[in-house]
Amino acid sequence: MTENPTDACETCELLKALETEGRESRDPSVEVDARVRFRRHVRDAHQREIPLSM
Protein backbone atom coordinates (compact mmCIF):
# COMPACT_ATOMS: atom_id res chain seq x y z
CA MET A 1 0.00 0.00 0.00
CA THR A 2 1.44 3.39 -0.97
CA GLU A 3 1.17 6.53 1.12
CA ASN A 4 -0.72 9.57 -0.07
CA PRO A 5 1.93 12.27 -0.70
CA THR A 6 -0.53 14.99 0.32
CA ASP A 7 -0.85 13.55 3.85
CA ALA A 8 2.43 15.05 5.05
CA CYS A 9 2.30 18.25 2.99
CA GLU A 10 1.84 21.44 5.00
CA THR A 11 0.48 23.37 2.01
CA CYS A 12 -2.13 20.69 1.33
CA GLU A 13 -3.25 20.77 4.96
CA LEU A 14 -3.51 24.57 4.98
CA LEU A 15 -5.57 24.62 1.78
CA LYS A 16 -7.88 21.85 3.05
CA ALA A 17 -8.38 23.83 6.28
CA LEU A 18 -9.15 26.98 4.29
CA GLU A 19 -11.74 25.10 2.23
CA THR A 20 -13.37 23.78 5.41
CA GLU A 21 -13.36 27.26 6.93
CA GLY A 22 -15.10 28.68 3.86
CA ARG A 23 -17.70 25.91 3.89
CA GLU A 24 -18.40 26.30 7.61
CA SER A 25 -18.65 30.09 7.39
CA ARG A 26 -20.88 29.76 4.31
CA ASP A 27 -18.46 31.76 2.18
CA PRO A 28 -18.51 29.99 -1.20
CA SER A 29 -15.86 32.31 -2.63
CA VAL A 30 -13.29 31.21 -0.04
CA GLU A 31 -14.33 27.57 -0.36
CA VAL A 32 -14.04 27.45 -4.15
CA ASP A 33 -10.82 29.47 -4.20
CA ALA A 34 -9.22 27.06 -1.72
CA ARG A 35 -10.41 24.06 -3.74
CA VAL A 36 -8.93 25.47 -6.97
CA ARG A 37 -5.66 26.34 -5.27
CA PHE A 38 -5.51 22.84 -3.72
CA ARG A 39 -6.05 21.12 -7.08
CA ARG A 40 -3.39 23.32 -8.71
CA HIS A 41 -0.92 22.69 -5.89
CA VAL A 42 -1.44 18.91 -6.01
CA ARG A 43 -0.94 18.93 -9.78
CA ASP A 44 2.22 21.06 -9.63
CA ALA A 45 3.86 19.78 -6.43
CA HIS A 46 2.73 16.15 -6.33
CA GLN A 47 2.23 15.38 -10.06
CA ARG A 48 -1.27 14.04 -9.37
CA GLU A 49 -4.68 14.97 -10.73
CA ILE A 50 -7.72 15.23 -8.53
CA PRO A 51 -10.88 14.47 -10.50
CA LEU A 52 -13.62 17.06 -10.52
CA SER A 53 -16.57 16.02 -8.40
CA MET A 54 -19.86 15.68 -10.22
- pLDDT tens-digit series, residues 9-42: 999 999 999 999 999 999 999 999 999 999 999 9
What per-residue confidence (pLDDT) applies to 3?
A: 55
Quote the pLDDT of residue 44.
Answer: 95
Asked if the model's pLDDT at residue 54 lies above 60, the reply is no
pTM score = 0.81
Answer for the pair 9, 47: CB distance below 8 angstroms, yes or no: no
- For the CA atoms of 36, 42, 43, 47, the dihedral, rounded to the nearest 10 degrees, stands at -170
